[in-house]
Structure 1
Amino acid sequence: MSSDPSSSEPTDSAGGLSALELEKQQLRELNQKPAIPRFLGYVKLSGPGWLQSALTLGGGSLASGLYLGVLTGYSLLWLQPLAMILGVIMLASLSYLTLSTGERTFRAINYHVSPVLGWGWLIGSMMANMVWALPQYSLATAAIKQNLMPEVFGSMEGNTANYILVPIILVISTAITWSYGSGHWGVRLYERMLKITVALVVLCFMLVVGRMVVAGELILSDLFAGFIPSPGSLTEPSPEYQALLAEIEVANQPYWREYILNQQFDIAMAAFATAVGINMTFLLAYSTLGRNWGKEHRPLSIFDLSTGMFIPFLLATTCVVVSAGNRFHAQPFRNLLETVNGTLEEGQDPASDKVVGAYKKLLNERVAADIKADDSVDSSAWLPKEWDSQVQARMATDTISDAEKYLASTLVKRDSFDLSRSLEPLFGGKLFADIIFGIGVLGMAMSTISLLMLVSGFCVCEALNVPSTGWTFRLGTLAAATGALGPFFWTEAAPYLAVPTSVFGLVLLPIAYASFFFLMNSKSYMKEELPTGTKKLLWNILMLCSTLTAIVASTYAIWDKAGWMGIAGLTLFVTAAVMTWRKR
């Protein structure tokens, strides 16, 4: 069955049934009980769903929720739950496949579907781990420097603080991850630690929204309206931003409108991708096998995913979007601008040098776009220095209107540090608010780092076809240590790094979904466990909806980012998969 380190089945002290057989017996008894006692029993036995939740509630979810709120307010509250529902469907199908057959999924895809899809799933998961780890380290170091210990690390120049913090985070994450390979007790301890972390994360963000409700800052009808799916909110700026655009000169409106929609598209795609990533599917396949779960555990697995994964995700992401939307949506960056002689000018806040730089960059890019569109100027051969001088010259002669300045100030990327300020009235001051919020953010990042390392260990062992134990597994987990480079090469707001990395993950997601769809319909793989009748129809409808949605989103992202070259690469991959199809 599984070669995971937790696959042993210790017997009880009396030398009778093994722990696994006792668990199966308990499940049979629970299935005969009423709903509430049965669900309470399931909670005690759950585990892989909480692993998925800990992986999901990382930098990607925080960044996606933060910037969804900044750009769209409450209008896209429906997007992340919908993506999670589609993801839970596919994870539930993967769990059904794995628990029905007991086979390692990577080998099953290679043998029963296509080795191109199988290796694509494994390599895609590994690449996603290595890329997704980048924002986690940036987020963890930012939480320490900005929220938890700003007096110690926040005042250090350059990368000095990163040189100290990154090795500490890497060592702690490695120690936690390697506990997974210490035997059955290590797996249980690891999962309990993550349950506490997830609960703490959800609590922190609920406190933010709770303070808004108490202060009367949140209109519940607007909140509930945001959960009604509205595809138009993906292709149009929010009403608040449309009002700001209307204040700008007509000639400059198309530029800012396109900028807002491009940002909105990336963030929406990132939000979709972070709900369930390709590496999460790899984690579920091997964490369930690692617990020696079987057919008896299929109802428990569905419950585990629906509660341990979906509910914390729904609560946390909703609270992040609401908090960001309430505080930042279409609002100028705090202390960035002030009115001088009736005109908006840069503020005097000494802590906003980085923010002022981002603000100036937004305006410079708008002026640069004007120069490119000017037919009387031949800028095709200009060097970067020539571009800078021309932009500055144009800025000096063409006055930027206050309306544009105001709009640009609302689009400067926020950091998790700014979001923590919404906790200040609740906790009576900045210090305690920063500590509470910082612990939650640090917990999100650290738990995700360790889980990305865990998945990397599984990927390496599967690629080498060796048991997920010993030094092969441990060294394999270090593949995700690439994330340690994140804080050194990313100078913008730390959470935003998760947006481009998540779009990358979205491109790979259909590989996993398509593989599971074909496995579910493979007679040679499922044998007597192959669904039939109404059950088969229901599985296929649900899985097809999830798979087609992922394919459409991925193809659109490929076209938007890579154009015809990306479509050509996608075509080559699909052709290779068809040519290596297993006729079984």
Structure 2
Amino acid sequence: MSDSAPASNPPLTEAQQREVAELQRLNQMPFGASAMGYIKRTGPGLLQSAMTLGAGSAAASVIAGASFGYKLLWVQPVAMFLGVMMLGALSNVVLTTGERPYKSFGREIGKWLVVLWALGTIMSSIIWHFPQYGLAASAARDLGAMQNIVSVPPELTAASDAVDEAMKTMDPVIIDQAKANLAQVTSESTPMGLGFTSEGLMLSFGIGIIILLINIITTFNYGGDSKGVRLYEWFLRGCIALVVIMFGIVVVAKIDVVASDIVDILKGFIGWYGIPNLWNVDGSLNNSTVTQVLGMLGAAVGINMTFLYPYSLLKKGWGADHKKLARWDLGMTMFLPFVLVTSLVIIAMKVGGVYDGADVVNTTIRPLGAAKALGGVLGENAGRIIFDLGLIGMTCGAISTHMVVCGFTFCEMLGLEQTKKRFRLFALTPAIGILGVVSSLPIWFPVAASAVCFTMLPIAYLTFLIMNNKRSYIGDAVGSGFSRLLFNVILVIALAVATIGSGIKIYGNVIKKILPANEAPAAAAVLTDSNDDDAS
């Protein structure tokens, strides 16, 4: 070990010694016998699962299912598997040394790198907070519309439909004209140009305030003692369970269709169809399809997740003896819920009749549009209600984890000891995102944040790869033999996919926004418009 490496993990408390003894006992037991013991002790992966199951995942899954039915079911599991492997490398480093990564990575790799890592984490947590509230408010207004609380003027509906039709042409001029007309109609026909009634405004802020208050209470618990951490983790379990149940009900309602399609569903999961409609009739690559798939593959894990994860491990008091538990945690509380929820949404698009069989990227579909299309699945509007509630549950979990990560990140970046007061104060930073219920950020902020966040993700991945193989820092924990080789091959693949995916996002969210519209390919332009609310 180098002189710069920490000598050892901090001394264990009596409770931690008992837990380590129990883990050592579980490590010697067969898979089935040890499973429940590990599952009961999971936790940090929950935060990652809740963070990635937000507005971005909802939009990506809706588009995938509405565009290709079951044929892209394999993409989200592969994307999350690669993300889990990279976080596994990060956990190996942190649990081996017990050292806080902001300090250790800055010393071993470079101080400016970790500053950008932290800055990207904060910026992404703020910018991706807005669409979470926006989706929750939209779902609430949709619920209100079914009760005739919120009405939309018919001329506004017609203008909105015209934009959807214009998007299908992929002609920037026609699209811009339709959007300009929509903006004018919105300004003239609704209060303050919001696109909905005053009742809709009250409903939007009402659901926003409720979600914010719930998350303040639960997040403040996470900034407290171990009992508060457990309470927060159960809150996240509840959010994820709600989402699974809501989307599951929609799918189960069409169980006869699911049963008849089971072979096609299994083919979708194993990648039988590959990337559908990959080639155009002239033999060229179909840019919109490729961009959709690569964007999904590269954006399952966000930069803020990479910062939150190691600190959530340390917050739980985990050390070198928890490595196997950490792997279980990533598998059972991050990988499994993400795959389950995104798959249910994709399947719902097919069994609910949203997928039309064209195998063309549907750039006009949105989560709320999908909810309306599923209205009759369980009877009149029942499927729509349940889908809306599932969307609200997704955003609630994501909002809380954005607050938690800001509480950690500010303390680390400013070199402050993490106290209860400081954590709670900094956790409130992204709360400004509640304004997302009626508006979005100024265009310059998402552009700047995208430039930093999506550039930093592959750099962070490269850092984890280097640190996981730095024998002078983690010693024999680098591994050996074939297992080390295989693991590193997977990490390199994850790095390559993240780099490509980030490049696509940078093109759509930065370059396309800066350059004139006619200098950006129409297919990529349309696609990235549909993913501007990506919230990993």
TM-score tier by shorter-chain length is: 0.7 to 0.9
Structure 2 counterpart of 1:65: 61
Change (3 A) 1:555 1:194: same
Amino acid at match of 2:88: A
Match for residue 276 of structure 2 among 233, 240, 246: 233
Q: CA deviation at 1:31?
A: 1.4
State the distance in 2 between where 1:108 and 1:539 align. 23
| Superposition deviation, residue 103 in structure 1 | 0.7
Q: Which amino acid aligns with 1:233?
A: P
Q: CA deviation at 1:121?
A: 1.6
Per-residue CA distance 1:300-358 (angstroms, 9 max, x = gap): 110111111111111111111121244222389xxxxxxxxxxxxxxxxxxxxxxxxxx
TM-superposed CA distance for 1:478, in Å, is 2.0
Deviations 1:549-582 (A, max 9, x none): 212332344346555999xxxxxxxxxxxxxxxx
Q: For the structure 1 residues 562 and 278, does the alpha-carbon distance in structure 2 shift closer, same or farther, using more than 3 Å as the test?
A: closer
Q: How many Å apart are 1:183 and its aligned residue?
A: 0.8
Alignment partner of 1:526 is 2:485: no
Identify which of 254, 268, 275 aligns with 2:300: 275
Counterpart-to-counterpart distance in 2, 1:149 and 1:43: 41
The aligned residue for residue 19 of structure 1 is 15
SS state at 2:99 partner: coil
**Partner Cα distance (1:528, 1:147) in 2:** 56
1:507 to partner: Cα distance: 4.4
The CA distance in 1 between the partners of 2:476 and 2:69, in whole Å, is: 50
The letter of the residue matching 1:451 is T
Q: Quickly say closer, same or farther: Cα 1:99–1:234, change in 2 above 3 A.
A: farther
User: Deviation of residue 224 (structure 1)?
Assistant: 2.4
Contact 2:298 2:497 in 1 (8 A): no
- Aligned to 1:75, what secondary structure does the other structure show? helix
Whether contact under 8 Å (1:128, 1:505) holds in the other structure is yes
> Equivalent residue for 2:216?
174
Q: TM-score, normalised by structure 1?
A: 0.70
- Out of 431, 436, 443, which is 2:393 matched to? 443
Conservation of the 8 A alpha-carbon contact between 2:295 and 2:502: no
- Are the structure 2 counterparts of residues 215 and 548 from structure 1 closer, same or farther at C-alpha, using a change threshold of 3 Å? closer
Q: 2:366 aligns with which of 394, 408, 414?
A: 414
Alignment partner, residue 191 of structure 1? 233
1:198 CA displacement: 1.0
Correspondence 1:303 to 2:328: yes
Aligned residues: 452
Residues 460 and 561 (structure 1 numbering): CA distance in 2 closer, same or farther, change over 3 Å? closer
Distance 2:463 2:418 in 1: 22
- Relative distance call for 1:108 and 1:309 in structure 2 (3 A) is same
| 1:329 aligned onto 2:280 | no
Alignment of 1:464 with 2:414, yes or no, is yes
Aligned residue number for residue 263 of structure 2: 221
Query: 1:65, 1:318 within 8 Å by CA — same for their partners in 2?
Result: yes
2:328 maps to a residue whose letter is F
1:480, distance to aligned residue in structure 2 (A): 1.6
Offset, 1:295? 0.8
Superposition pairs of residues 377-392 of structure 1, within 5 angstroms:
none
Instruction: Check whether the contact 1:92–1:302 (CA below 8 A) recurs between aligned residues.
Output: yes
Q: Which amino acid aligns with 1:203?
A: I
Instruction: Say if 1:434 and 1:557 are closer, same or farther in 2 by CA, change over 3 A.
Output: closer
Match among 100, 125, 129 for residue 125 of structure 2 = 129
Distance 1:267 1:564, change over 3 A: closer
Aligned twin of 1:203: 245
The answer to whether the 8 Å contact 1:108/1:525 transfers is no
Contact (CA 8 Å) 1:69, 1:324: kept in 2 or not? yes
Aligned equivalents of 1:233, 1:217: Cα separation in 2: 23
Q: 2:317 aligns with which of 248, 273, 292?
A: 292
Shift of 1:479: 2.1
Query: Are residues 73 and 425 of structure 1, via their aligned partners in 2, closer, same or farther at CA, if it must alter by over 3 Å?
Result: closer
Indicate if the aligned counterparts of 2:375 and 2:385 stay in contact, CA closer than 8 A.
no
Residues 79 and 297 in structure 2, CA contact (< 8 A), matched pair in contact too: yes
Residues 210-219 or 138-147, more deviating: 210-219
Deviation at 1:166, TM superposition (A): 2.5
Equivalent in the alignment of 2:101: 105
TM-score by length of 2: 0.75
**Cα displacement string for residues 216-270 of structure 1 (whole angstroms, at most 9, x for unaligned residues):** 6852232223234466437447xxxx9xxxxxxxxxx99xx99x954x5664455
Q: Does 1:314 align with 2:356?
A: no
**What letter corresponds to residue 279 of structure 1 in structure 2?**
N
- Does structure 1 retain, via aligned residues, the 8 Å contact 2:69–2:357? no
- Distance in 1, Cα, partners of 2:339 & 2:500: 24
* 2:367 alignment partner AA: D
What is the correspondence of 1:427-506 to structure 2 with a 5 Å cutoff? 428-431=379-382, 433-489=383-439, 506=454
1:161-220 residue CA offsets vs partner (Å, 9 max, x unmatched): 334333333232222211111211000011012112212211222222222232468522
Query: Given the superposition, is the C-alpha separation of residues 422 and 287 from structure 1 closer, same or farther in structure 2, using an over 3 Å criterion?
Result: same
- Cα distance in 2 between the residues matched to 1:483 and 1:51: 19
Which residue of the partner structure matches residue 512 of structure 1?
A: 460
Whether contact under 8 Å (1:457, 1:473) holds in the other structure is yes
Shift of 1:476: 1.3
Contact 1:234 1:265 in 2 (8 A): no
The CA distance in 2 between the partners of 1:421 and 1:552, in whole Å, is 33
SS where residue 365 of structure 2 aligns? coil
> How far apart, CA to CA, are the structure 1 residues paired with 2:440 and 2:86?
33
Q: Distance in 1 between matches of 2:419 and 2:260?
A: 50
Go from structure 1 to structure 2 and tell me whether the alpha carbon gap of 1:440 and 1:51 turns closer, same or farther (over 3 Å shift): same
Give how far 1:457 is off: 1.1
SS at match of 2:416: coil
In structure 2, relative to structure 1, the CA distance for the partners of 1:165 and 1:261 (3 Å cut) is same
> Any stretches of 5+ residues in structure 2 without a counterpart?
1-9, 152-196, 515-536
Q: Specify the structure having the higher radius of gyration (Cα).
A: 1
Structure 1 pair 271–555 and aligned structure 2 pair: CA distance change class (3 A): closer
Shift of residue 413 of structure 1? 2.7
The Cα offsets for residues 123-142 of structure 1, whole Å up to 9 and x where unpaired, read as 11112111211111012112
CA distance in 1, matches of 2:221, 2:439: 30
Alignment map for 1:84-123 (pairs within 5 Å): 84-123=80-119
CA distance in 2, matches of 1:22, 1:74: 47
Percent identical among aligned pairs is 34
8 Å Cα contact 2:298/2:499 also seen in 1: no
- Counterpart code for 2:319: G
Cα distance change on mapping 1:442 and 1:564 into 2, 3 Å: closer
Alignment partners' CA distance in 1, 2:269 and 2:449: 26
- Give ranges in structure 1 of 5+ residues lacking alignment: 1-6, 10-16, 243-252, 333-406, 492-497, 567-584
Change beyond 3 A, Cα 1:214–1:8:
farther
Match of 1:558 among 494, 506, 515: 506
* Cα 1:261–1:533 shift into 2, 3 Å: closer
Deviation of 1:47 (Å): 0.8
